[in-house]
Structure 1
Amino acid sequence: MPRDLLRFATAGSVDDGKSTLVGRLLYDTKSVLADQIEAVQRASVDKGLSTPDLSLLVDGLRAEREQGITIDVAYRYFGTPTREFVLADTPGHVQYTRNTVTGASTAELAVLLVDARNGIVEQTRRHATVLALLKVPRLVLAINKIDLVEYDEGLLRAIEKEFTGLAKSLGFPEDAVQTIPLSALVGDNVVERSARTPWYDGPTLLGHLESVPVVVPEVTAPFRMPVQYVIRPRSSADADASRWGELHDYRGYAGQVASGVVRPGDQVVVLPEGRTTTVTHVDTADGPLESAAAGLSVTIRLADDIDLSRGDMLVAADAQPTVTSEIDATLCWLGDKPLRPNARLLLKHGTRTTQAIVGAPDCRIDTDTLTEVDAETLSLNDIGRVTIRTADPLPVDEYADIRATGSFLLIDPPTGNTLAAGLVGTPLSLTTA
């Protein structure tokens, strides 16, 4: 029986022990090769350590930083008999907060580390705000290095209480947040329960990762599929008659189902044109399907001959997105150069790229006070709200409803660099300073 898959991300301030925690998970789940373990043991002995330095298993990012190379998200894969995992390991330095956006954008859970000696710091609040904006469904507060505070229950409870208030103000439901006191260095409550925390009756970190429900909200949302490619034989002369047979007039629309489920017989609307038609077949390379859910790449055939091309979108006829040329959005600014009001940029939404004009920010989110403050521009790692006008109408959903069709990228036309990640609507309700 195939195991299910959990995608999760890690975040936290620099030196909070994130590399050691990831190394501990990989080491204790036997997800590293024997020669890697031997290399770590030798390096640890050379450093005069009595126990293996597990951060060496994942410290490629640190080596990149020392070489002056741009830091990116590292994806790591491991599994247990219960479940498979895809871990997006994001760097902790403030200047790389933008990478948390990348790592958490597809996560179903995030592990946010804090150092028990320091408690909740500015970077913790910043990361929590980004995770709330991206609507990550579940959050683990991992209070690390509890061995360095003598397993002080009162101190750890105080950190938990402070973070619970922060998470609540950001809109996380109470049952979506799990606090786990642990020590990545010695292994307390990471994979094995620690006898040093008899006052803690919750799960270990791995136990929580293995048991938390994997709910993909995109599956229960209305059907959406951006068209990636139109599949047709180039001509009857090019098509091998024995292969194509009666399908020499085949016309299929290929793409990945972004949300919902599609079946033959479903009524769909082609956007932005607005014409209604019916799905006749859902094809794959392995044959036809009776249904296809979010995440599957398929080719859809329609009952009517419609002029449909890359960039168009097939949507459920009874639950359509808004088609608009003016978008109120929240931006996570990723570019080194600040936003220039009324800048002409490219906007990529689904499979369509169009020209856009980005207005001056309406406000910027102060992650320290969780309030909206006035802003004339947005700089690296800033989060703010803007209005964007596009050259072509786009079918968009609120990001809070459907992440795939409620998100977009802003691109610098001359260089092709990504400048911002955009979320349609206002995912966070904050007060104004």
Structure 2
Amino acid sequence: MTASGRPTPLVATPLVDAVFDLDELLTPEEVVWSRKARAFATNRILPTIEQDFEDRFFRAELVAELGAAGFLGMHLEGYGCAGASAVSYGLVCLELEAADSGWRTLVSVQGSLAMSAIHKYGSEDQKQRWLPGMAAGALIGCFALTEPTGGSDPAAMRTIARRDGDDWVLTGTKRWIGLASVADVAVVWAQTDAGVRGFLVPTETAGFTATPIAGKLSMRASIQCDVTLDGVRLPGDAVLPGATGLSGPFGCLNEARFGIVWGAMGAARSCLDAAIGRSRSREVFGRPIGAMQLTQAKLADMLVEYEKGVLLALHLGRLKKRGTLTPAQISVGKLNSVREAIRIAGLARSILGGDGVTNEFPVMRHLANLESVRTYEGTDEIHQLVIGRALTGMTAF
């Protein structure tokens, strides 16, 4: 038994490890983080995720547990953060998304977006006020950048912040803002006379309203919101002093994109594992479908793309540790990982047959979630243009 009284976790080794032994490429510290996240995902997310997805239920008590495990803002230094390596953070994202994209998204919104914004650009007082509680999961943050007219062109942002004496007054709307209705603080990006600036908005502030978006067929066990800022009045020191212009939010988006490079491969691994298991047990024409050439060809193609995606993620993690990772390289990873994860999920569904569209297997849930992951933090097209600009030296946006 664990100290909490729960049964000691029994965490199965992924079936793909029969061919791809990722642990051989990792440090002991990285393996520890990976196993810790796998145990959390197996024992705290997987037992309820299918029902939570069906019920559109966000299991809020897991936030503090993620904090206690050290996963929130784990790549940051100080203020109660773990100070873990880039690869360790990536491995945690992979394991959490192998359970469900919504929980990796929470870790990304909290740590890579909201906490990173405060850590990178905040004053010491702002860091001390917010970061320790956020690292512990006692406080939740959100990152309000995207607007109803579209997320791919933040330069066209319509939310404004104007000076009124010593105060700031924010007016505008944001859309698809993860965690906004349960957040304690929102990092809101707005146009000012001096360009785009970031503001820390306690969510109990008058004029701030977050409304969960209904009707989602994807990311149903997590929360995304419309946010209205109706004359939100903030003190002068609510602005993030270290960020002016779009380089501020983009610096945070690249942190989140790095986590997606890893996380999408977790969803892919879950789908591939389900397909391998089903290919061994499902019999057609008198033998398991895994003994048939077409099925083995599909599994082989899926494994190759999964392994390539993880090796790319590992390469990017090593570059990040050295401080040489570029935005274009991150775009290569995000574009490849999500695109191939969706392809793997589709092939897995075909191997599962009709049962693949039921919640007996995780594949359709992952496939639906990955369509959201494909869209946020830069669509395929945006990342293609980032890569194209790096190759040609010309901007095509």
Is the TM value for this pair above 0.5?
no
Select the structure that is richer in strand.
1
Question: What TM-score do the two structures reach when normalised by structure 2?
Answer: 0.28
Q: Which has the larger radius of gyration?
A: 1
Question: What TM-score do the two structures reach when normalised by structure 1?
Answer: 0.26
